[in-house]
Amino acid sequence: MYVLGIETSCDETAAAVLEDGKLLRSNVIASQVDLHKIYGGVVPEIASRKHMEMIIPVICEALNGASVTLSDIEGIAVTRGPGLVGSLLVGLSAAKAIAFALKIPFVGVNHLEGHVASIFLSPDHPEFPLVALVVSGGHTNIYLMKDFQDFTVLGQTRDDAAGEAFDKAAKLLNIGYPGGVIIDRLAKKGNRKRIEFPRAMRDSLDFSFSGLKTSLLVYIKKRECPLSEDELPDVAASYQEAIIDVLVEKTLKAAEIHSISRIVVCGGVAANSRLRERFAEESRLKGFHVYIPPPIFCTDNAAMIAVVGWHLLTRGLKDSLNLNAVSRWPLDSLLKHNS
């Protein structure tokens, strides 16, 4: 069964063709990073207009790369939410149009479930149940996952997401966008013990990064002169370590509480080199099996959407053509939504 996956939740226009739930035939991603860089973040209206421009060429490229035509596609999986509604509607409209024209089923996929499912694109993937940390620019959540569509929230951010904390720090430091990538690069040359930034809510599985961002702002304002180029790596490394400490600590604690040895770390921030290093170190010390997708599958992509879609479609689930996009869609509501 060939499934066409479509992803337009934020600022990547993506399409992929997946065969029989395992063989990825193509995975095309058109990034808008350069377009939004001058604004220091994603501008929703610009993002949706760019999706409209790119959606058909990207789908065509995915089909060509997979050496298939639309007549070979037996089902469509498209991101329904959460995300920017204007962006989501572009992908959703394209999916509906193709499904209607070809008289094939389509299904709306939760973007966050897609991130977790990205690990199943790797030959070495975990069995259920597992603990999943979804960490990105808009989300920082820990879940207990017993199967596809079966999630329980164990912890979540009370304010900023980890990726947002990286981007806001980059703005404060005036080092550019996307913040997480730049801070990761700078931190490799810095002393992560140079500055003691706070680690919030250590007695809980929930996260809070707003205080960390404020502490960086206070640190900068207290100085009599701007940060020099020599000081920036130490600040970046110390700030990054404060974020990673709580991500690793709380995820492992959640796994210990629920006696789960399998941990999936996914989402855009999972591409961070120090986060991957820390999880590898801690898992060896404490006996956990940590699975992290390759960086290409950490950022937004359509392959992960196709994986979820394949599982839903093969179970007989499908959506009607009046399905709408949603900006918020908690993972723990999936069973109720589809029942």
pLDDT band for position 337 (cuts 50, 70, 90): very low
Q: Note whether 7 and 111 are same-domain residues.
A: yes
Instruction: Assess if residue 185 is contained within a domain.
Output: yes
Residue 76 forms beta bridges with which residues?
4, 106
Indicate which CATH number applies to the domain containing 13: 3.30.420.40
Question: Once rounded to an integer, what is the mean pLDDT over residues 134-139?
Answer: 94
Instruction: Assess if residue 48 is contained within a domain.
Output: yes
Residue bearing the bigger pLDDT, 252 or 339: 252
Q: Note whether 6 and 102 are same-domain residues.
A: yes
Q: Note whether 177 and 101 are same-domain residues.
A: no
Q: Above 50 in pLDDT, residue 63?
A: yes
Q: What is the DSSP letter of 228?
A: P
Q: Note whether 79 and 209 are same-domain residues.
A: no
Instruction: Assess if residue 248 is contained within a domain.
Output: yes
Q: Note whether 282 and 308 are same-domain residues.
A: no
pTM for this one? 0.94
Q: Note whether 230 and 323 are same-domain residues.
A: no
Reported as a single tens digit per residue, the pLDDT across 286-327 is: 999 999 999 999 999 999 999 999 999 999 999 999 999 999
pLDDT at 335: 61
Q: Note whether 252 and 317 are same-domain residues.
A: no
Residue bearing the bigger pLDDT, 32 or 336: 32
Question: What one-letter code names the amino acid at 246?
Answer: V
Instruction: Assess if residue 228 is contained within a domain.
Output: yes
Q: Above 50 in pLDDT, residue 212?
A: yes
- What is the rounded radius of gyration, in angstroms, for the C-alpha atoms of the chain? 20
Query: What is the count of structural domains for the chain?
Result: 2
The answer to whether 140 touches 247, Cβ cutoff 8 Å, is yes
Q: Note whether 59 and 90 are same-domain residues.
A: yes
Range of the domain at 18: 2-117+298-338
Q: Note whether 305 and 288 are same-domain residues.
A: no
pLDDT at 333: 85
Reported as a single tens digit per residue, the pLDDT across 261-286 is: 999 999 999 999 999 999 999 999 99
